[in-house]
Amino acid sequence: MTANSWRGTSEHLLRELAPQVLGAVIRRFHDFYSAEDAVQEAMIAAFMQWPQDGIPENPRGWLIQVAARRLTDQLRSETARRQRETAVLVKADTMSPAPDITPDMDPDDTLILFFMCCHPALTSPSAIALTLRAVGGLTTAEIANAFLVPESTMAQRISRAKQSIKASGIPFRLPTTQERALRLPTVLHVLYLIFNEGYTSSIGSQLQRLDLAREAIRLTRCVKALLPDYAEVAGLLALMLLTDARRAARTGPDEELIPLTKQDRTLWDRSEITEGIALLTAALGKGSVGPYQLQAAVAAVHDEALRTEDTDWPQILALYDLLKRMSANPMVSLNHAIAAAMVHGPSKGLELLTTLDADSRIAGHHRLDAVRAHLLEMAGDHPAAITHYRMAAARTTSIPERNYLMTQAARLVES
């Protein structure tokens, strides 16, 4: 196996195994903070040893063993320094090496870890950040981009969240039915952010990170299996599928970004669209409509249009009108402005964008500049559009998005 092929195989495998290994180590040692450090060391060891020795027959068991030994060594060292023995050390000393994980060893530690990270002892932002780190496998920089805060701020937030988990003594188990309902909004928001980072990476040279998008879909299916009667879980899964269905058409031969209006719709995954619409229809039939169902409905309207010009923009605008009443999310307002421009003309969209300039959550964000540039181009103001395309390009940390925005500006300069 070449270095590049090994890297691709191993990165996908390690991302999938990381939360499972972390869950297993937490289950044994009851220490979230130390367990995550030990698992990270095990991942580094895998990167160093597996290229030479090959991927073990049981990679999950290998990682658990290495992480458990690292944590046991740490406990022994701490105890020696304090010159006393603790119950944890006695337990660690008498443990046999981590056993191989056999198929009958369920439950899904990833799902348990998910709900643990979304415990009400944590604030919602801290729970989301911690879960993105521990379950989603995002880097601190990627999470900081998702939250629009500096990386140092996010590192401190994640560290405090881990300390809170450690201090609270939260048990590693599936929550009760009542506990699940309380944590569900945070769980769904985390899944939503993981999928978004996978579908449009906020940083780096890749437009899409398929491993993250697929993991978000897998985890959402797990949550839906656990909570089949919650319509918003089905709504979120439908949104992911209806969005992911366009994946193959989003990039060109050189991995360049292709916007929705320019995509070859014959490349869209009709099986995902069919499943997504079926999920959405069933969820809407339950009577309680939430924001994820409405966003899925918007995605369905796009997916059902065989051509760009067939898109039912009045219906999309009506859906965003409802979403704005439910949510104060500035991204919803941004998309509402786009829909308004498509129905009532670019001047209306530009008027709505002015209200976002005073919103600190999005003012200065590249997406606001990019949308403004697009609407200015629609309005025929090419000099202003060029300025905002360039401003958006300077502000994004995604190389494919930057290239696309600069191309748009260059196209208008040449016209």
Q: What is the pLDDT of residue 23?
A: 87
Q: How does DSSP classify residue 175?
A: P
Report the alpha-carbon angle 160-165-168, nearest 5.
115
Quote the pLDDT of residue 85.
46
For residue 71, the model assigns a pLDDT of: 87
What does the block give as tokens for 383?
């000099």
pLDDT for 81 equals 57
Contact 54, 61 (CB under 8 A): no
List the pLDDT tens digit at each of the 415 positions of the chain.
555 555 556 666 777 788 888 888 888 887 887 888 888 888 888 878 888 888 888 998 999 999 998 888 877 766 655 544 444 444 444 444 444 433 334 446 777 888 888 887 888 888 888 888 888 777 788 788 777 688 999 999 999 998 888 787 778 888 888 888 888 888 999 899 889 988 998 888 889 988 789 889 988 998 898 788 899 999 999 999 999 999 999 999 988 999 999 999 999 999 999 999 999 999 999 878 999 999 999 999 999 999 999 999 999 999 999 999 998 899 999 999 999 999 999 999 999 999 999 999 999 999 999 999 999 999 999 999 999 999 999 999 999 999 999 999 999 999 8
Query: CA 227 to CA 233: how far, in whole Å?
Result: 8
Burial letters 297-326, b for 16+ CB under 10 A, else e = bbbbbbbeeeeeeebebeebbbbbeebeee
Phi, psi of 88 (to 5 degrees): -65, -40
Distance CA 6, CA 55 (A): 9
Give the span between the Cα atoms of 194 and 108, in whole angstroms. Answer: 19
- What are the CA-CA distances from residue 160 to residues 122, 130, 199, 382 (Å)? 9, 9, 29, 48
Which residue in the block uniquely carries the two structure tokens 């994946």?
247
**Amino acid letter, residue 7:** R
Gap between the Cα atoms of 265 and 246, Å rounded: 8
Cα–Cα nearest to 223, from 174, 283, 272: 174
Of 270, 208, 157, 249, which Cα lies nearest the Cα of 398? Answer: 208
Centre a 10 Å sphere on the Cβ of residue 281 and count the other Cβ atoms it contains.
Answer: 13
